[in-house]
């Protein structure tokens, strides 16, 4: 992955990890501002709770994360459905960590979304071997454009075409990847 940043944090290329038995947990309001972070989130991201609460969750967005995946991600949860996604995040010191994220909307008694809840697990190496080339393809297209909207508008059709070419839906792809490496680990 290309480790060049366009923000104030210099990317180090140092990978952070967490235990396969641990979960990174966060909650946000309906606008994506953090309202809760667990200890694992704080430890891995290297931020303090005071630095995170009230801030947009994208404070940890890594520039190697395709914008079109987040566009799809947000469209899905804002429609009231859960979503799973492989995400590369940035740490406070410029490192990175990969997660398999599961995000669900929370609704009030009238069915209106009031917040989002996210659990993140360590992805398998086998799954990341499949994800990284797809993300690199998307990023190559996004880097041709300056504005975030132009970036995701250019790369989203590539993502859709990828799934069409594979003959699977996004959900089928994600769930298939989530099983990679776990089946042999549980034998």
Per-residue pLDDT of the chain (187 residues; tens, 9 = 90+): 333 333 567 999 999 999 999 999 999 999 999 999 999 999 999 999 999 999 999 999 999 999 999 999 999 999 999 999 999 999 999 999 999 999 999 999 999 999 999 999 999 999 999 999 999 999 999 999 999 999 999 999 999 999 999 999 999 999 999 888 765 544 4
59 DSSP 8-state letter:
G
All domains of the chain, ordered by start, with CATH? 24-185 (3.30.450.20)
Cα-trace Rg, the chain:
16
The answer for residues whose C-beta is within 8 angstroms of residue 105's C-beta and 6 or more apart is: 77, 78, 80, 81, 82, 113, 115, 116
> What's the CA angle centered on 149, arms 63 and 155, to 5 degrees?
70
């Amino acid at each position: 992955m290309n480790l060049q940043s366009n923000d104030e944090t210099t990317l180090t290329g140092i990978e952070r990890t967490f235990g396969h038995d641990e979960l990174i947990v966060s909650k946000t309001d309906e606008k994506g501002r953090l309202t809760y972070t667990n200890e694992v989130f704080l430890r891995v991201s290297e931020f303090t709770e005071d630095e995170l609460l009230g801030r947009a969750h994208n404070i940890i967005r890594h520039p190697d994360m395709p914008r079109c995946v987040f566009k799809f991600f947000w469209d899905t949860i804002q429609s009231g459905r859960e979503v799973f996604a492989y995400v590369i995040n940035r740490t406070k010191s410029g490192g990175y960590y990969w997660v398999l994220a599961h995000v669900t909307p929370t609704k009030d008694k009238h069915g209106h979304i009031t917040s989002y809840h996210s659990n993140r697990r360590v992805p398998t190496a086998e799954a990341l071997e499949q994800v990284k080339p797809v993300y690199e393809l998307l990023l190559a297209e996004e880097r041709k454009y300056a504005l975030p909207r132009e970036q995701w508008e250019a790369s989203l059709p590539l993502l859709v075409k990828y799934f069409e070419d594979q003959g699977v839906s996004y959900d089928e792809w994600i769930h298939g990847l989530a099983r990679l490496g776990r089946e042999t680990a549980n034998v």
